[in-house]
Amino acid sequence: MSQTPDNLSSRWMRKLRLRALAFLAGLGLAALAMISLTSIPAWPIVGVAVACAAVALNSLASRLDQPTCYSCGVDISKEPIGVHGRICKSCGAINEARDRGPTA
């Protein structure tokens, strides 16, 4: 089965998004179950669920701060930036070049 470049270049990002969606859905269902099965007021449960979601999404997206291959998730900070971006040594995907602003 041959994969197109679009499938290869966004595989890691899709997996990251799916992981975030699954965590948020599970957290929402757990909060809903806690509210419906106990006599605890809903506002504290919703507050804790929102705080957990913020911390979890921050930790999931923290790897996107550094130059990371969008296909396999390998650190590509040491790779040179070409015309079309950085080329990952492990999977060969071309990643977008990021403008870091002026370096004065």
pLDDT band at 33 (very low <50, low <70, confident <90, very high): very high
pLDDT band at 2 (very low <50, low <70, confident <90, very high): very low
pLDDT band at 10 (very low <50, low <70, confident <90, very high): low
Find the mean pLDDT for residues 90-103.
68
**pLDDT higher for 3 or 56?**
56
pLDDT band at 1 (very low <50, low <70, confident <90, very high): very low
* 41 CB-near residues (< 8 Å, 6+ apart): none
Q: What is the pTM of this model?
A: 0.66
Nearest to 98 by CA among 60, 58, 64: 64
Nearest to 58 by CA among 27, 102, 20, 93: 20
Q: Exposed, middle or buried by CB within 10 Å (0-12, 13-18, 19+), for 86?
A: buried
